[in-house]
Amino acid sequence: MAKAKQNIKKHLLLNQFIHNKSLVQKLNESYDFGNFSQAINLQFYQQEGVKNALAILSFYMKDELNSHNYNQERRKLLDFYQGESKDLKLQKEHIARASFWMATGSGKTIVMIKLIALIHEFIKNNQLPKKPIMLLAPNDKILNQFKANITKYNNYHSNFIKIKDLKDFESIEKEASLLNEAVVYFARSDLLESEENVGKDKKAKRLNYKNYLNKDGWYILLDEAHRGDSKTSLRKNYYHELARGFIKEDEFPKGFVFNFSATFEDEIDFITCAYNYNLQKFNQEGYGKNIAILNENLDFKSENNEEAKIKTILEGFIIFNAIVKTKEELFLKRQDFTYHNPLIIAVSDKVNTQDAGIKTYFKAVHNVLKNKADIGNIALELYEKLQNQNLHFGINTLSDDFLKYIKNTNNDELRKNIFYASANANLECYSIKGNDKELAFKSKNSNKPFMLLNISNAKEWEKNFLLELGVESISDISQSHFENINSLESSINIMLGSKVFSEGWDSNRVNLISFINIGSVNAKKYVLQTIGRGVRIEPFLNIRKRLNTLKETFKIDERCVNLACGLETLFVMASDNEAIQAIIEGIEYEFIESKHLKGFKETKLSFNLPIPKYKNETKLKSIYKISKDDAKSLEELIKSYDEDVLILGQCLYKNFKYSTLQEFNKFIKGKESRIQLSGNKVEFNEKTILKTINSVLNSNTKVLDKFVKLEKEITHHKNIQAKLDFETVQKINKTIKDVLNAKSEDELKADFENKKINLDELMQGIKENQKSKEVKNYIISAKLSKHYYNPLIIYNKNDKESKINFAISNESEKEFLEDLEKNLNLSFFEQYEWYFSKLVENQDEIYIPYFDEEQQKERKFYPDFIFWLKNKQSGEFDIYFIDPKGLKIEDNPRFKLKGFKMIFENKN
């Protein structure tokens, strides 16, 4: 089902389905989604991944739990896929799956282990059908990482996860099933084979997948299972056949496959993506390094000019030196930083001197060591070039504090900070005893190496090419530098090789990748591998976010944030236009779903804007609604136990209230109670019902605390992104600047009346200086000057296909803004100073809390707009929440209105 990669559409339909059906909201909140080990708690985004996995699994397995509705829910999912996916028509055998697009470094391992534990909990509580659980990973190293983390989990929990080899499945499963143990069967995904291929395996490591076919199927978790050789796609069929179980022709698969990966290649993996936390989202939420690709404008004029290539390498040294210098200053300001030591990865197409790539790099090193390069002028030119350097995952540019170090770089600093040389020097090389893959290089007047060459035959290379490169060979040493590359004591600043050191290598030290004569295909491949492994940061112990997101938590000043800029950026350089173009295409395809729109400007306010803030308050007013059938089952459950036994045996868990039991008794006796009959849903589960009711009856309610000054509660305009081609995004960004700089018709007329312009200039200005322009179905408008920011972006089609995330696309919202624009001159507005703003759900922090009695949860209502009107005479405020969309889409309006009244009624 794979397509040519360039034609793959990244429509994340399953994620959309989960959201549309509110499946996560239907999960039982009494489960613990956060705890992992003594030192590890799942981050919010990791918990969201686990919840999405359990939400779609519970939905899919509901049919199997309710045999009288067999295939009812699964049919809904299939119909959704077939209706939404125009090109790839999925059949029933394709839908028992969910992919998770999660960046390397985002903690997929923790998510998968927590998911395994919770699947078992759901099985114990009869919320999922019982099936064995399998975990497949591409190599032993990753499997060992899973085992180590499961040990950490087990040390903190009583519900142990037992690890067993898949080959022992038949001998173990019956016993594990009887004891109701949480067992996960491990295997390498690349060793599952057909019977024919297993017979060819002399080492007897391969497993015949058919030996593990199970009547009821499997829950299978795959970690990067697309890695491997040309047989990968065939093995994918094995995984899904294992999960499917024994089914009839008209049946849906019985099991389910979860596929976790940082990158996907097949369109079906995007369509069935249940959760997206790819590198772009990972980065946008403050994790990991940003990415800067130098010479994006492809300005190499003579790509065969060796001097130009040497200059590019020297620019890399200058950037590296600035990172070292800013790190030194940063660590003087605070001693608790735990940032990495920066590292350059230099990649040449071939590590031999018949090719110019490796020669060029050594010439650049010699130029610095012997003071032959005009570093001062190169640094000044680089400083100018980096002024407007684009960062691929953000809207920021490089900080002035970092650029200052670029500007002031000299040759002595490069010698000292990269090569540990105090004066002009030659290069020396030594090999490692018993290691034919490494050569280390140092300056002759230094006692520690600065560069490591990683090759396949070090002895031969040393013998044939050292003299030609002007390098002196000295005695061997005993210890590998590559093995200790991540140590704080490692002196290596540069790793040089013919490929990125991807197999078994993982480092957060990489700050600069330099490609010399690499070619477009290899450049794209290697940079993507390195970005995935080298993008992580750790400014404080176990804290992996960039400093600008930690300012308040760690009381960090702006100077520190600016100094950290270099450490928190991955710079990518190449010596030719073709390689740079390929790198840009690769990054944009693999990692960047959408591109930031830039240039939005917040309106200068004449007064502070008040917004409501809430606090939690326990109010025994919440109602739990239960169907007649479930009420009968609840009554039978309560009556089957003595009261003391019920409390101790069934309800002994954190935060259980005796008052809940009193409500049970009142309800059973027909007295007035906060448990009420409603609807006809049958959802009774005796293992969770008491916890659920207790949670609802004793939930905190948000009440108005005070009004505070608006500061950072409206932020969606800082994250407006477009899934449009690069040229269109550039055009929209230019148009944003144009409409902001344009004068309104009234301003132009005033200039004419004051004789600043003549009639021709007035007419031309009215024609050209439009406050509103259109680019490919998007109106970019700065006409509503009272909006919190400008311009607004309005999608002018009615097909719900907007490619800009926060563009105004709803018809009722567009009509409202049109009416507002037409009525700006109403006398009503003359008595007020006023502003307004669009609000975006889950992005902005202005909302009205309410209790959704159908879902039995507290939720947040986000109106479409908020208006602030300040009376010019009295100074009193009127605040209006406007929700034109809600007039047509009745999403629990009664509960929202009730919440509004509870919060604001009779409040001054």
Mean pLDDT within 161-185: 83
**Is residue 543 scored above 70 in pLDDT?**
yes
Long-range contacts of 431-434 (CB under 8 A, 24+ apart): 431/458, 431/459, 431/462, 431/476, 431/477, 432/458, 432/476, 432/477, 432/478, 432/479, 432/480, 432/481, 433/476, 433/477, 433/478
**Is residue 64 scored above 90 in pLDDT?**
no
* CA 727 to centroid of chain Cα atoms: 25
For 862-897, write each residue's pLDDT tens digit.
Answer: 999 999 999 999 999 999 999 887 655 455 555 556
Neighbour count for residue 306 (Cβ, 10 Å):
13
Confidence of residue 89 (pLDDT cuts 50, 70, 90): confident
C-beta separation of 102 from 277 below 8 A: yes
For 341-356, write each residue's pLDDT tens digit.
Answer: 999 988 876 665 555 5
Range with the lowest mean pLDDT among 37-41, 319-323, 667-671, 837-841? Answer: 667-671
Mean pLDDT within 396-422: 93
Question: What φ, ψ does residue 418 adopt, rounded to 5°?
Answer: -105, -45
Neighbour count for residue 448 (Cβ, 10 Å):
12
Mean pLDDT within 378-404: 86
**Is residue 437 scored above 50 in pLDDT?**
yes
**Is residue 80 scored above 80 in pLDDT?**
yes
- Residue-level pLDDT at 115: 98
195's CB contacts (< 8 A; 6+ apart) are: 208, 210
C-beta separation of 810 from 823 below 8 A: no
pTM of structure: 0.71
For 810-822, write each residue's pLDDT tens digit.
Answer: 999 999 999 999 9
Q: What is the C-alpha to C-alpha distance for residues 227 and 473, in angstroms, rounded to an integer?
A: 40
Confidence of residue 293 (pLDDT cuts 50, 70, 90): confident
Quote the tokens at residue 708: 């505070």
Mean pLDDT within 63-91: 82
Percent of the chain residues topping a pLDDT of 90: 41
- Please tell me which residue, 859 or 303, carries the higher pLDDT value: 859
Map out the domains of the chain with their CATH numbers. 15-277 (3.40.50.300), 290-592 (no CATH), 623-698 (no CATH), 709-904 (no CATH)
Confidence of residue 907 (pLDDT cuts 50, 70, 90): low
Confidence of residue 835 (pLDDT cuts 50, 70, 90): very high
**Is residue 806 scored above 50 in pLDDT?**
yes
Rounded mean pLDDT of the chain? 84
Of the spans 494-503, 601-610, 851-860, which averages the highest pLDDT?
A: 601-610
- Residue-level pLDDT at 3: 40
Of the spans 311-315, 478-482, 719-723, 739-743, which averages the highest pLDDT?
A: 311-315
C-beta separation of 146 from 135 below 8 A: yes
Of the spans 64-73, 638-647, 836-845, which averages the highest pLDDT?
A: 836-845
Mean pLDDT within 359-368: 89
Q: What is the C-alpha to C-alpha distance for residues 417 and 589, in angstroms, rounded to an integer?
A: 36
- Residue-level pLDDT at 230: 46
Mean pLDDT within 127-131: 94
Q: What is the C-alpha to C-alpha distance for residues 126 and 123, in angstroms, rounded to an integer?
A: 5
How does DSSP classify residue 647?
Answer: I
Amino acid, single-letter form, for residue 241: E
Confidence of residue 646 (pLDDT cuts 50, 70, 90): low
Confidence of residue 184 (pLDDT cuts 50, 70, 90): very high
- Looking at the DSSP bridge assignments, the partners of residue 345 are 495, 513
Range with the lowest mean pLDDT among 22-36, 112-126, 701-715, 743-757? Answer: 743-757
For 821-832, write each residue's pLDDT tens digit.
Answer: 999 888 888 999
Confidence of residue 413 (pLDDT cuts 50, 70, 90): very high
Residue whose token pair is 């001998």: 171
Amino acid, single-letter form, for residue 830: E
CA distances from 303 to 364, 572, 717, 808 (A): 17, 17, 41, 46
For 566-582, write each residue's pLDDT tens digit.
Answer: 999 999 888 777 777 77
C-beta separation of 493 from 450 below 8 A: yes
**Is residue 229 scored above 50 in pLDDT?**
no
Mean pLDDT within 472-498: 82
